[in-house]
C-alpha cells in the first residue's frame, strides 16, 4: 500500500464503497455521483436567486 501512496483507511473505505462491483458499475456510480453534485449546485444557485428576488420584491413594496 505504501508503494502506491494509499493509507489503510482510504483503502478500507474504497473497498467498503466499491467492493464487489464490476468496472462498469463503478463507472456508473461515479457518473451518478457527479450528476448528483451538479444537481445540488444547481439547486443551491436557484435558492440563492429566489432569496434575491424575494428581497428585491420586499424592498419595492
Give this prediction's pTM: 0.64
The pLDDT score that the predictor gives to residue 42 is: 98
The pLDDT score that the predictor gives to residue 6 is: 84
Q: Which three cell numbers stand for residue 46?
A: 436557484
The pLDDT score that the predictor gives to residue 1 is: 61
The pLDDT score that the predictor gives to residue 35 is: 98
Q: Which tens digit of pLDDT belongs to each residue from 5-60?
A: 888 898 888 888 888 889 899 899 999 999 999 999 999 999 999 999 999 999 98
pLDDT-based confidence at residue 2 (cuts at 50, 70, 90) = low
CA distances from residue 59 to 6, 31, 42, 46, 55 in whole angstroms, order as listed: 54, 42, 26, 20, 6
Can you give the residue ranges of every domain in the chain? 21-61
Amino acid at each position: 500500500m505504501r508503494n502506491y501512496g494509499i493509507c489503510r483507511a482510504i483503502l478500507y473505505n474504497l473497498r467498503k464503497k466499491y467492493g464487489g462491483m464490476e468496472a462498469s458499475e463503478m463507472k456508473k456510480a461515479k457518473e451518478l455521483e457527479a450528476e448528483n453534485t451538479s444537481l445540488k449546485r444547481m439547486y443551491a444557485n436557484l435558492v440563492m436567486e429566489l432569496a434575491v428576488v424575494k428581497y428585491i420584491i420586499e424592498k419595492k413594496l
